[in-house]
């Protein structure tokens, strides 16, 4: 053991009700593994915590021995922020309890749970809260960065539905935070990422959803990109309120509903979700009349399965990389950039999702949360490289970077969505939040984490106060 001796590790084990894992222990390699297969790092010790008190003990251990600290919720962030060489990893996978109160329409969720787990528990009561588009994403990381998904036009971001949280500070103090208690810290964790402490429990507002929703997916080949994107822009502008939507440039999956001649062919899909069950037929009729798709699927689907629909696009442990930008409009000039760059990708896994940000998302005042970006209606454009081997990965990482550079001049916020950052370049983090929010976050950081213990993230540096 290079960085810690046996006695030190034994002292940590004695302080935990959970377990401490080091190199050579059974399960170490699996415990240090995260979703992005590009990340291969070796923490000095992994503290798999079973309580907030375990987290506090782990932080004290790291402080006494001068160890860096990382926090793993679902381990899904593409930057690999959850794991660093020689650090202490606080692993929250032992904190996965979920308690649904169907009468109050609330959920208490452990900081190590995934959205698949929350969706399943809440859907047993016909309830849900906004939470991503890939089901094995962790509750913690997605929520702390904002959290958008199919339900966002209807019910806002994950943070807009966060009622309170339990958080362990760098000092080891455990706080319950809400609009009424430690309100500045509560404001900060709603969008400010994991900069302020370790959230061991989230409490969400739930909404009636499903169990069945109506799904429409319409595909146009890459050769029809300009026409398809301009048409989809008009369809999205005219959607009835509260419908979920996404436009994605990708390779059509070899699924039963896809005609064989389009299997793995590049193109653009417009996906629309009707939560009320009485709107999709009208939208589909307008699409068929205006620009018939090469193929389509219109079908009811369980909400929990909708949440898993993109899971296979970039499978776990693929080599992955991502960037994003915000734009206020899908202008013709922007569409020209997209149709030039999408065909240049090399891996069939790589994709470009476009998420409309409107409806309930824009009804929340700009200053109400720390969410990076703007609450003005617009779109988040992501560019994600996913590949099974190094050659394709290197090619498509370069593709993402070049694509992003070409999109920046058309962007209202080139910083993009903090949850879609593989690299936390300092100017991009500041740009995402904007000067006013960043300075406020920095002042709050100076109060709750003045030594910047939590810095392996989209880092907000503490103000010098």
SS (H, E, C) the chain: CCCCCHHHHHHHHHHCCCEEECCCCCCHHHHHCCCCCCCCCCCCEEEECCCHHHHHHHHHHHHHHCCCEEEECCCCCCCCCCCCCCCEEEECCCCCCEEEECCCCEEEEECCCEHHHHHHHHHCCCEECCCCCCCCCEHHHHHHHCCCCCCHHHHCCCHHHEEEEEEECCCCCEEEEECCCCHHHHHHHCCCHHHCCEEEEEEEECEECCCEEEEEEEEEEHHHHHHHHHHHHHHHHCCCCCCEEEEEEEECCCCCCCCHHHCCCEEEEEEEEECCCCCHHHHHHHHHHHCCCCEEEEEEEEHHHHCCCCCCCCCCCCEEEEEEEEECCCCHHHHHHHHHHHHHCCCCCCEEEEEEECCHHHHCCHHHCCCCCCCCCEEEEEEEEEECCHHHHHHHHHHHHHHHHHHHHHCCECCCCHHHCCCCCHHHHHHHHHHHHHHHHHHHHHHHCCCCCCCCCCCCCCCCC
User: Given this model, what pLDDT does residue 425 score?
Assistant: 77
Per-residue pLDDT of the chain (465 residues; tens, 9 = 90+): 445 787 889 999 999 999 999 999 999 999 999 999 999 999 999 999 999 999 999 999 999 999 999 999 999 999 999 999 999 999 999 999 999 999 999 999 999 999 999 999 999 999 999 999 999 999 999 999 999 999 999 999 999 999 999 999 999 999 999 999 999 999 999 999 999 999 999 999 999 999 999 999 999 999 999 999 999 999 999 999 999 999 999 999 999 999 999 999 999 999 999 999 999 999 999 999 999 999 999 999 999 999 999 998 899 999 999 999 999 999 999 999 999 999 999 999 999 999 999 999 999 999 999 999 889 999 999 999 999 999 999 999 999 999 999 999 999 888 889 999 898 876 889 999 999 999 999 999 999 999 999 999 999 999 986
Rounded CA separation 25/22 (Å): 6
Rounded CA separation 394/387 (Å): 9
Report whether 189 contacts 111 (CB < 8 A): no
User: Given this model, what pLDDT does residue 373 score?
Assistant: 82
Tokens found for residue 461:
């540096």
**Per CATH, which fold does 212-420 belong to?**
Vanillyl-alcohol Oxidase; Chain A, domain 3 (3.40.462)
CATH no. of 6-91 = 3.30.43.10
CB atoms within 10 A of CB 374: 15
Q: CATH 3.30.465.10: which residues of the chain?
A: 98-209
Q: Rounded to two decimals, what is the model's pTM?
A: 0.95
Cα dihedral 320, 79, 380, 400, rounded to 10, equals -40
Instruction: Work out whether strand 45-48 and strand 88-91 pair parallel, antiparallel, or are unpaired.
Output: parallel
Rounded CA separation 116/137 (Å): 8
Which residue shows structure tokens 């205006």? 290
Report whether 373 contacts 407 (CB < 8 A): no
β partners of residue 352: 249
Q: CATH 3.30.43.10: which residues of the chain?
A: 6-91
User: Given this model, what pLDDT does residue 465 score?
Assistant: 62
Rounded CA separation 157/81 (Å): 22
CA 56 to chain centre: 26
Tokens found for residue 457:
């993230």
What length does the chain have? 465
The 10s digit of each residue's pLDDT in 39-48 is: 999 999 999 9
**Per CATH, which fold does 98-209 belong to?**
3.30.465
β partners of residue 203: 108, 164
- The two most distant CA atoms of the chain are separated, in Å, by 73
Rounded CA separation 379/355 (Å): 5
Q: CATH 3.40.462.20: which residues of the chain?
A: 212-420
Q: What contacts 431, CB < 8 A, 6 or more positions away?
A: 413, 414, 415
Rounded CA separation 310/134 (Å): 6
């Amino acid at each position: 053991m290079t960085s810690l001796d046996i006695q030190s590790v034994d002292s940590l084990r004695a302080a935990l009700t959970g377990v401490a894992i080091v190199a050579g222990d059974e399960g170490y390699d699996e415990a240090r593994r995260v979703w992005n297969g590009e990340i291969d790092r070796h923490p000095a010790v992994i503290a798999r915590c079973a309580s907030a008190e375990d987290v506090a003990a782990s932080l004290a251990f790291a402080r006494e021995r001068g160890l860096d600290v990382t926090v793993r919720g679902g381990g899904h962030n593409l930057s690999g922020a959850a794991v660093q060489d020689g650090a202490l990893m606080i692993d929250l996978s032992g904190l996965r309890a979920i308690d649904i109160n169907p009468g109050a329409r609330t959920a208490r969720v452990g900081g190590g749970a995934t959205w698949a787990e929350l969706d399943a528990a809440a859907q047993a009561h016909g309830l849900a809260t906004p939470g991503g588009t890939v089901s094995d994403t962790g509750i913690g990381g997605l929520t702390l960065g904002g959290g958008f998904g199919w339900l966002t036009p209807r019910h806002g971001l994950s943070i807009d539905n966060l009622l309170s949280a339990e958080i362990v500070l760098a000092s080891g103090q455990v706080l319950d935070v809400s609009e009424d208690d430690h309100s500045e810290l509560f404001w900060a964790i709603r969008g400010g990422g994991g900069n302020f402490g370790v959230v061991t429990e989230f409490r969400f507002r739930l909404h009636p959803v499903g169990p069945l929703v109506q799904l429409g997916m319409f595909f146009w080949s890459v050769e029809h990109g300009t026409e398809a994107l301009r048409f989809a822009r008009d369809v999205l502008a005219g959607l009835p309120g509260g419908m979920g939507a996404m436009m994605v440039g990708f390779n059509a999956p070899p699924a039963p509903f896809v005609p064989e001649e389009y299997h793995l062919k590049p193109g653009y899909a417009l996906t629309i979700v009707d939560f009320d069950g009485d709107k999709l037929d009208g939208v589909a009729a307008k699409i068929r009349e205006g620009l018939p798709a090469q193929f389509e699927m219109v079908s009811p689907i369980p909400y929990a399965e909708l949440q898993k629909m993109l899971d296979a696009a970039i499978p776990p442990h693929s080599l992955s990389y991502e960037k994003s930008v915000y734009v206020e409009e899908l202008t013709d000039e922007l569409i020209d950039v997209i149709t030039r760059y999408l065909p240049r990708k090399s891996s069939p896994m790589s994709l470009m999702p476009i998420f409309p940000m409107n409806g309930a998302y824009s009804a929340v005042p700009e200053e109400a949360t720390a969410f990076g970006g703007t609450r003005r209606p617009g779109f988040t454009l992501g560019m994600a490289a996913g590949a099974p081997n190094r050659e394709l990965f290197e090619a498509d990482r370069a593709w993402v970077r070049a694509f992003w550079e070409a999109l920046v001049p058309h962007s209202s916020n080139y910083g993009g969505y903090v949850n879609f950052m593989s690299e936390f370049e300092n100017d991009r983090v500041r740009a995402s939040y904007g000067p006013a929010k960043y300075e406020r976050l920095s002042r709050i950081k100076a109060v709750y984490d003045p030594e910047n213990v939590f810095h392996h993230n989209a880092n907000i540096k503490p103000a010098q106060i």
